[in-house]
């Protein structure tokens, strides 16, 4: 017990320590996996923004306005500001100063002034005619007024505001103006006038989104109103506008403006599909906080986005805890398995030791019994032989008596030795039976033949009931005869005075029964099972007197069971005993038949 308990407790203690350490290690390993994941996301974010930065290049020979429009139309940012290398703003810029009047400019300004007068006087039709004249004259297309703004687009806006909804002049003015405002290659128009006109025309229009670049124009203008200086660093930074961020190109000639929601949406779209199972990564703007898992530290989102961070949190079940639970289950199972193995080994060792001890005890018992049992017949034979050798006998009759006594002791000795040998073979598992189909009557007669002398003695009345036509049994003739001899011998030994011994064989429901009955000393109920154990003797003094060694019935039981049979006893003290052996009838093919 202790042999199994000490190592089992040791193993369990060791496993519990190992389990605790391993649990932490598993959590750390898994946290490392998630941290590596964040690091790889960091690299993706950086390369994404590097690409964006590289795309923010002012295109070669293009006008700044064209650059602006193409970058905004490519949807690279919410707003764009373009600088020259010296840091001067190229787009968007306020209107140029007033251009000198004269020539076409004079005509344009005079038509503008006349139409304004007519409108003031309430002469709408004449005013519109003047405006149509102004707008229709191709020479006046790029003429600017006193404030530096183009005159024709302003006149077109006035027509839009004044003319009836369906008037042809109005439709023409609207189409022309829309086209012109969307045409960023038109160098004559200042960005401030474009921005102003876009807003005015859109306000008058019923259709939405006439100018896709208008929002970018507004953001850029607003940005420049607050801070016109070119950023000093080519990284993402806050602007004076609320929740608007700027990212300059590497040479800082193009500054892209982003609303914070757009930045977050772009980053989320980038990293969302890359998330590891069970986890979610949030992009946090500077100062923003979420409840993230503290075991996986937050990382900077990218060197290009200072202050922005990546934070990991788990959806639902915590995989770190789940992994350590899995690990614990594994350790528990392994520990249980090891304890089971130790217990099984201890059990096997204990069984082996017990078997060895039993064998050693058996050997001792055998040696002492054998020597004692052999001594008695040998001593009496020796005394008889010595008497005869010394010629100390009266006549021939006494000589014959002595010789018969010697022969009797001899038989007893043979019987004893046979039992010892049978027992020894049985114990070593070396007993081999020669199975044959046998007539039960033959077995009975062989046994009675061996016991003839005892059974026919004067103080014994022996009765044999052997019906003809008993079914055959399958067995070893010699071994089965030994069984019956042992039972008959016991019946003689354990019956005092006038012996009445009966032996019968009978068939019953697929079995043949052999019964040996005596009127002897009988057995107490407690003894009826024990007597089949080896070396067990009810009364040592009695058996010594009778000459036995406590092996006969154990040999009987062994042989009967090897034949698929049973042996039992019915007895009461002073009332004799009946020993019954039941053996199966042989089948047609020679095997033992099944009992029905
Ligand atoms: P032994 O060699 O001592 O006879 P057995 O194994 O044949 O050994 O019998 C075991 C014991 O069972 C005997 O010692 C005896 O006490 C008891 N026994 C056996 N047969 C009978 C019987 N017919 N009547 C009474 N007791 C018996």
DSSP 127-154: HHHHHHHHHH-GGGTT-B-TTS-BHHHH
Residue-wise burial string across 336-358, b where 16 or more C-beta atoms lie within 10 A, e elsewhere: eebbeebeeebeeeeeeeeeeee
d(CA 592, CA 583): 9
Question: What is the best residue among 419, 482, 494 to mutate for testing ligand 1's pocket, by most ligand atoms within 8 Å of CB?
Answer: 494
Establish whether residue 553 lines the binding site of ligand 1, counting it when its CB lies within 6 angstroms of any ligand atom: yes
Q: Which atom of ligand 1 is nearest to the CA of 534?
A: 6
pLDDT, average across residues 54-61: 79
Most confident of 13-22, 160-169, 517-526: 517-526
> Which residue is it, tokens 């075991």?
295
Is any ligand 1 atom within 6 A of the Cβ of residue 310? no
Please report the pLDDT score of residue 213 as a whole number. 94
Q: Whose CA is nearest to atom 2 of ligand 1?
A: 548
516 CB within 6 A, ligand 1: no
Q: Which atom of ligand 1 lies at the shortest distance from residue 547's CA? A: 2
Mean pLDDT of 224-247: 87
Position 596 scores a pLDDT of 35
Ligand 1: residue of 489, 521, 536, 548 to mutate (most ligand atoms within 8 A of CB) is 548
Question: How far is Cα 130 from Cα 121, in angstroms, rounded to an integer?
Answer: 14
Percent of the residues in the chain that have a pLDDT greater than 90, as a whole number: 46
- Asked if residue 97 has pLDDT above 60, the reply is no
Q: Identify whether 92 is preceded by a cis peptide bond (ω within 30 of 0).
A: yes
Distances (CA, A) of 200 to 54, 157, 211, 264, 284: 35, 8, 11, 32, 38
Does the C-beta of 549 come closer than 6 Å to ligand 1? yes
Regarding the beta carbon of 520 and ligand 1, being less than 6 Å apart is answered yes
**Secondary structure (3-state) at 64:** helix
Stronger pLDDT, 352 or 278, i.e. the higher one: 352
pLDDT over 90 at 448, yes or no: yes
Both tokens of 94, joined, read 């306020």
For residues 151 and 135, give the distance between their C-alpha atoms in angstroms, rounded to a whole number: 9
H/E run at residue 412: helix 396-427
Question: Rounded mean pLDDT of 151-163?
Answer: 93
Spatial separation of the C-alpha atoms in residues 572 and 522, rounded to whole Å: 5
The whole-angstrom separation of Cα 409 and Cα 207 is 137
Rounded to the nearest angstrom, the distance between the alpha carbon of 498 and the centre of ligand 1 is 18
Task: Kindly tell me if the per-residue pLDDT of 542 is higher than 60.
Answer: no
Q: What are the C-alpha distances in Å from 510 to residues 479, 542, 565?
A: 21, 39, 12
pLDDT at 157: 94
What is the per-residue pLDDT for 362? Answer: 72
483, 520, 553, 571: residue to mutate for ligand 1 pocket, most atoms within 8 A of CB: 553
CA 446 from chain center: how many Å?
70
Residue 595 banded pLDDT, cuts 50, 70, 90: very low
Quote the ligand 1 centre to 562 CA distance (angstroms).
21
Nearest residue CA, atom 11 of ligand 1? 537
- Mean per-residue pLDDT, 262-287: 86
Ligand 1 contact, 548 CB (< 6 A): yes
Take atom 13 of ligand 1 and give the residue whose Cα is closest.
537
The residue whose CA is least distant from atom 4 of ligand 1 is 548
Grade residue 549 by pLDDT with cuts at 50, 70 and 90: confident
Average pLDDT over residues 456-472: 93
């Amino acid at each position: 017990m202790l042999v199994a308990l000490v190592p089992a407790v040791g193993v369990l203690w060791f496993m519990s320590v190992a389990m605790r350490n391993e649990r932490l290690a598993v959590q750390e390993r898994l946290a490392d996996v998630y941290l590596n994941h964040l690091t790889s996301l960091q690299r993706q974010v950086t390369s994404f923004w590097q690409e964006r930065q590289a795309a923010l290049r002012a295109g070669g020979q293009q006008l700044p306005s064209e650059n602006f429009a193409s970058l905004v139309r490519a949807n690279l940012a919410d707003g764009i500001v373009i600088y020259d290398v010296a840091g001067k703003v190229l787009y968007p810029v306020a209107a140029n100063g007033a251009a000198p009047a004269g020539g076409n400019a004079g005509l344009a300004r005079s038509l503008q002034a006349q139409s304004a007068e007519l409108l003031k006087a309430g002469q709408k039709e004449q005013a519109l005619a003047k405006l149509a004249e102004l707008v229709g004259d191709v020479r006046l297309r790029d003429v600017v007024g006193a404030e530096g703004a183009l005159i024709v687009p302003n006149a077109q806006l006035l027509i839009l505001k004044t003319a009836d909804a369906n008037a042809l002049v109005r439709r023409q003015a609207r189409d022309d103006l829309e086209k012109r405002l969307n045409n960023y290659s038109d160098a004559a128009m200042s960005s401030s006038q474009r921005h102003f006109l876009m807003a005015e025309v859109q306000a008058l229009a019923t259709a939405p989104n006439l100018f896709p670049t208008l929002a970018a124009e507004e953001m850029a203008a607003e940005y420049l109103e607050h801070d016109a200086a070119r950023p000093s660093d080519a990284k993402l930074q806050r602007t004076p506008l609320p929740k608007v961020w700027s990212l300059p190109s590497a040479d800082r000639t193009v500054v892209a403006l982003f609303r914070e929601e757009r930045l977050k949406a772009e980053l989320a779209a980038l990293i969302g599909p890359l998330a590891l199972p069970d986890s979610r990564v949030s992009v946090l703007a500077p100062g923003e906080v979420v409840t993230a898992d503290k075991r996986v530290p937050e990382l900077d989102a990218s060197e290009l986005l200072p202050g922005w961070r990546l934070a990991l949190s788990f959806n639902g079940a915590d995989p770190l805890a789940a992994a350590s639970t899995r690990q614990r289950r594994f350790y528990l199972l392994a520990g249980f398995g090891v304890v089971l193995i130790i217990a099984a080994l201890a059990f096997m060792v204990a069984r082996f030791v017990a078997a060895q001890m039993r064998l050693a005890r058996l050997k001792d018992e055998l040696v002492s019994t054998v020597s004692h049992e052999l001594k008695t017949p040998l001593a009496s034979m020796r005394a008889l032989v010595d008497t005869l050798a010394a010629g100390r006998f009266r006549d021939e009759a006494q000589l014959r008596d002595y010789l018969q006594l010697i022969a009797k002791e001899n038989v007893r000795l043979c019987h004893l030795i046979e039992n010892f040998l049978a027992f020894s073979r049985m114990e070593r598992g070396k007993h081999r039976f020669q199975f044959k189909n046998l007539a039960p009557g033959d077995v009975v007669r062989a046994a009675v033949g061996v016991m003839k002398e005892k059974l026919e003695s004067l103080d014994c009345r022996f009765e044999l009931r052997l019906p003809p036509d008993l079914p055959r049994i399958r067995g070893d003739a010699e071994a089965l005869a030994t069984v019956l001899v042992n039972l008959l011998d016991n019946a003689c030994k354990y019956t005092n005075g006038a012996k009445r011994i009966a032996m019968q064989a009978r068939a019953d429901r697929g079995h043949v029964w052999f019964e040996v009955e005596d009127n002897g000393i009988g057995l107490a109920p407690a003894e009826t099972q024990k007597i089949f154990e080896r070396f067990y003797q009810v009364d040592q003094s009695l058996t010594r007197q009778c000459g036995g060694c406590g092996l006969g019935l154990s040999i009987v039981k062994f042989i009967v069971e090897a034949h698929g049979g049973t042996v039992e006893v019915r007895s009461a003290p002073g009332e004799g005993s009946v020993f019954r052996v039941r053996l199966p009838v042989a089948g047609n093919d020679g095997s033992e038949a099944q009992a029905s």
